[in-house]
Amino acid sequence: MIKQLREEMRSRKIFFLVPVYIAILSAIAIISVASNTSANFNPVALSSSAKVTLFAFIVAVSILLGLIGLILGAASFTSEKERATYELLELTPMSYVQLILGKFFHSYILIALILFSSLPVFSTLFFMGGLSYLDLILPMIYLFLFFAVIILAAICISISSNRTIIGIILSLLVGFVSYICLAFVGAGAFRQ
């Protein structure tokens, strides 16, 4: 896990992904606030649509960070196989479970850090009013569980795949199917 995190910080991909991710979430927040206010600032109108905006944030975060988690998980073991370092990993005294957990926690920590970096954008929802702390905590628990499942599924695909591109494509297909299923479930729950 530490080796993977060091490599990730050296590649500096994360320093590009986080600002782009925050910019997309900020655009959603600005569009939401701008569409709910007229010429005069009306806090009541903002508070009535805060849950809709929260739902839009959760959908955007699920899609954006889910894609990042899928790609990180899908490339975890296949990139080791392509660089011919997988055999070296097998020679270490670590068990297969420890190897998988290391790869999982590498991806999960990166996703969690990106999610925590979006908390200031989520705090704009409290500015809008109409939300309690429970309304923000429950979606965060959902997101953490969702990302754990997505990353583990991508790692399973990565273990069975020999090429990174094939692992990423298969992971994105699994992610697409899971997003479609979640869309149906989420739309029903949102209507209620």
Q: How far apart are CA 173 and CA 128, in angstroms?
A: 36
Burial 127-163 (b: 16+ CB within 10 A, else e): ebebbeeeebeebeeebeebbeebbbbbbbbbbebee
Q: What is the pLDDT of residue 148?
A: 92
Q: What is the 3-state secondary structure (H, E, C) of 33-60?
A: HHHHCCCCCCHHHHHHCHHHHHHHHHHH
Tens of pLDDT along 94-142?
Answer: 888 888 888 899 889 888 888 888 887 777 776 666 677 787 788 888 8
Structure confidence at residue 40 as a pLDDT band (50, 70, 90) = low
Average pLDDT, the chain: 78
Summarize the confidence of residues 31-43 as an average pLDDT: 59
Tens of pLDDT along 130-169?
Answer: 677 787 788 888 888 989 989 998 898 888 888 888 888 8
Q: How far apart are CA 62 and CA 180, in angstroms?
A: 12
* Cβ neighbours of 56 (radius 10 Å): 16
Structure confidence at residue 186 as a pLDDT band (50, 70, 90) = low
Q: What is the pLDDT of residue 93?
A: 84
Q: What is the pLDDT of residue 27?
A: 81
Residue 148's nearest CA partner among 116, 109, 189 is 109
Model pTM? Answer: 0.78
